[in-house]
Amino acid sequence: MTARRAERRAWRLVPGALILALVFASPALAGDGDPVNDYPTEARADYVFACMAANGQTREVLKKCACSQDMLAAILPYDKYVEAETVLSMRQGVGQAANAFRSSSRFDDIVAELRRAQAEAEIRCF
């Protein structure tokens, strides 16, 4: 192969490399400098482990649960997720504090937003 031919062949790879670079850089460029996905890895792993515990321990379920978590993260910001998970956790307790979390419509709305996001994720991934 001549040097000229090798150079032409290398230039044909440039558009593909540029597309890949843009695809991998796009999350960092979205929005006002905020990352598209603000869920920490630990929260993602917890979600996937819980999903797999409920649905089976297979490779197929792993893919579906990871997809579900990705969809959830795309729909619901992490701070809203934490808020809803906190409400659900508090509702499991006993006493006046737990009753306050069970009886307030404000908390119902927070949990409902999480449930809608989970339902959408389940429809898309399962």
- Give DSSP secondary structure letters for 61-124: HHHHHHHHHHHHHHHS-HHHHHHHHHHHHHHTS-SHHHHHHHH-HHHHHHHHHHHHHHHHHHHH
Closest by Cα among 25, 29, 68, 24 to 46: 68
Domains: count for the chain: 2
Mean pLDDT to the nearest integer, 61-65: 98
For residues 64 and 110, state if they share a domain: yes
For residues 21 and 78, state if they share a domain: no
Residues 68 and 122: beta-carbon distance below 8 Å: yes
d(Cα 32, Cα 108) in Å, to the nearest integer?
Answer: 31
Q: Which pLDDT score is estimated for 5?
A: 59
For 48, which DSSP code?
Answer: H
pLDDT in tens, 7-61: 555 444 444 433 333 333 334 334 454 555 799 999 999 999 999 999 999 999 9
For residues 9 and 47, state if they share a domain: no
For residues 88 and 99, state if they share a domain: yes
Mean pLDDT to the nearest integer, 59-76: 98
For residues 2 and 57, state if they share a domain: no
For residues 99 and 62, state if they share a domain: yes
Q: Which pLDDT score is estimated for 30?
A: 41
Supply the range of the domain harboring residue 75: 37-125
For residues 30 and 46, state if they share a domain: no
Q: Which pLDDT score is estimated for 26?
A: 36
